[in-house]
C-alpha cells in the first residue's frame, strides 16, 4: 500500500506545477520542502498517507543535476553513490556556497574548489557526476532503474526490505553499540505511537531522536551537526562505523538526552 501511495508523493516532487501539487504544497508545506514537511494538525487522509510513505521515496529519490541552482549541497541527495548519496563533509564557516551551482564553472565542475573544501570521498563522488552541456533545470529522478522513473513494483520491494530490516537486520553492526562507553540504560529505549515533543506527526524512533524539529535543533546546536539520513539504521550504521569512539559516546549521550526530554514531556509535562 505504501509503495502505491508513494507514487503520489513522487508526483509532488516530479510535477510541482500540477494543480494537485500546488494545492498540497500551499496547504501543508508552503515554506519547506516535501521531505521536511510535517504531517500537521488535522491533515487529510491522503496527506497523512503520503507522509507515511516518504521513507520509500527517501531511499530511491535523487537529484539529477542540470544547472545546480535548485539543489542544496548539504541537504539534498545528489551524488552517484547508491548507498549514501549525501555529502558527508562537515560544513565549515569559510564555505561561502550552499547550492550545487556554486561548484560549477563554465558548465564543468570547479575541481580545484571541490578538492579544497570537500573530503576526498565526497570530491571523488561529485567529480564523477556528468554535467549537461546545455542549460537545464535540476530534476528529481528515481535511482532504482535506468529510466529514472518511479515504479511501484520496485518500491514495494524496498518497502518490504525496510520492514524486514526494522525487525531483524543481520548486517547492522549491533555489537558496536555495546562497545560504546556509556551507561547501559542509554542503549534501552521504547517508542510509543504519537510524537508529543513537536506535536506535528506520528512518533517513530527515527523521528523522536533525529527528525523531529526539536531533535534537529539539538543536533545542529551540538558540535556533531545534522546531515540527512533516510532511516535510523543508516544513521546508526554511519555513526558506529565512521566516527571515532569519542564522537560515538557524545552521539549516544545526545540521543539519551533527547529521549529523557521526550519522557519529561510525556510523563511530567515539562516543555523546554
Instruction: Find the mean pLDDT for residues 125-135.
Output: 89
Q: What is the pLDDT of residue 97?
A: 74
- Whether residue 138 has pLDDT greater than 50: yes
**Diameter of the chain measured on Cα atoms:** 59
The answer to whether residues 140 and 61 touch, using CB atoms and an 8 Å cutoff, is: yes
- Whether residue 94 has pLDDT greater than 80: no
Task: Extract the C-alpha cell encoding 137.
Answer: 533545470
**Residues 28-38, buried b or exposed e (16+ Cβ, 10 A)?**
bbeeeebbebb
The separation between CA 212 and the C-alpha centre of its own chain, rounded to angstroms, equals 12
Nearest to 198 by CA among 49, 28, 29, 38: 38
- Whether residue 247 has pLDDT greater than 70: yes
The answer to whether residues 185 and 253 touch, using CB atoms and an 8 Å cutoff, is: no
Q: Partners of 64 in the beta sheet?
A: 139
Instruction: Find the mean pLDDT for residues 23-44.
Output: 85
Q: What is the pLDDT of residue 184?
A: 54
The answer to whether residues 101 and 116 touch, using CB atoms and an 8 Å cutoff, is: no
Confidence of residue 162 (pLDDT cuts 50, 70, 90): low
Rounded-to-integer distance, Cα 204 and Cα 207, Å: 5
Q: What is the pLDDT of residue 168?
A: 41
CA dihedral of 199, 201, 205, 209, whole degrees rounded to 10: -50
Residues whose CB is less than 8 angstroms from the CB of residue 44 and which lie 6 or more positions away in sequence, other chains included: none
Q: Among residues of the chain, what percentage have pLDDT more than 70?
A: 79
Instruction: Find the mean pLDDT for residues 151-164.
Output: 66
- Whether residue 93 has pLDDT greater than 80: no
Element (H, E) at 88: none
Q: What is the pLDDT of residue 166?
A: 44
- Whether residue 109 has pLDDT greater than 90: yes
- Whether residue 135 has pLDDT greater than 50: yes
- Whether residue 210 has pLDDT greater than 70: yes
- Whether residue 171 has pLDDT greater than 70: no
Confidence of residue 111 (pLDDT cuts 50, 70, 90): very high
Compute the residue count for the chain.
272
Amino acid at each position: 500500500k505504501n509503495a502505491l501511495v508513494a507514487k503520489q508523493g513522487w508526483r509532488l516532487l516530479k510535477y510541482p506545477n500540477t494543480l494537485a501539487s500546488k494545492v498540497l504544497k500551499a496547504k501543508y508545506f508552503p515554506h519547506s520542502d516535501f521531505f521536511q514537511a510535517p504531517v500537521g494538525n488535522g491533515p487529510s487522509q491522503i496527506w497523512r498517507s503520503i507522509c507515511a510513505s516518504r521513507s520509500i521515496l527517501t531511499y530511491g529519490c535523487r537529484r539529477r543535476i542540470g544547472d545546480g541552482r535548485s539543489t542544496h549541497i548539504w541537504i539534498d541527495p545528489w551524488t552517484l553513490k547508491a548507498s549514501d548519496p549525501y555529502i558527508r563533509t562537515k560544513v565549515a564557516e569559510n564555505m561561502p556556497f550552499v547550492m550545487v551551482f556554486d561548484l560549477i564553472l563554465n558548465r564543468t565542475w570547479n575541481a580545484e574548489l571541490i578538492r579544497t573544501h570537500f573530503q576526498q570521498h565526497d570530491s571523488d563522488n561529485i567529480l564523477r557526476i556528468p554535467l549537461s552541456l546545455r542549460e537545464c533545470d535540476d530534476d528529481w529522478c528515481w535511482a532504482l532503474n535506468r529510466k529514472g522513473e518511479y515504479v511501484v513494483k520496485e518500491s514495494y520491494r524496498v518497502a518490504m526490505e525496510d520492514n524486514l530490516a526494522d525487525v531483524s537486520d543481520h548486517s547492522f553492526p549491533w555489537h558496536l553499540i555495546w562497545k560504546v562507553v556509556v551507561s547501559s540504560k542509554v542503549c534501552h529505549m521504547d517508542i510509543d505511537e504519537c510524537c508529543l515533543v513537536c506535536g506535528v506527526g506520528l512518533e517513530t524512533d527515527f523521528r523522536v531522536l533525529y527528525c523531529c524539529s526539536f531533535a534537529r535543533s539539538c543536533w545542529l546546536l551540538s558540535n556533531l551537526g545534522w546531515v540527512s539520513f533516510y532511516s535510523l539504521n543508516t544513521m546508526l550504521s554511519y555513526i558506529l562505523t565512521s566516527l571515532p569512539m569519542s564522537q560515538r559516546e557524545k552521539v549516544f549521550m545526545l540521543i539519551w538526552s533527547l529521549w529523557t526530554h521526550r519522557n519529561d514531556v510525556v510523563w511530567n509535562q515539562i516543555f523546554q
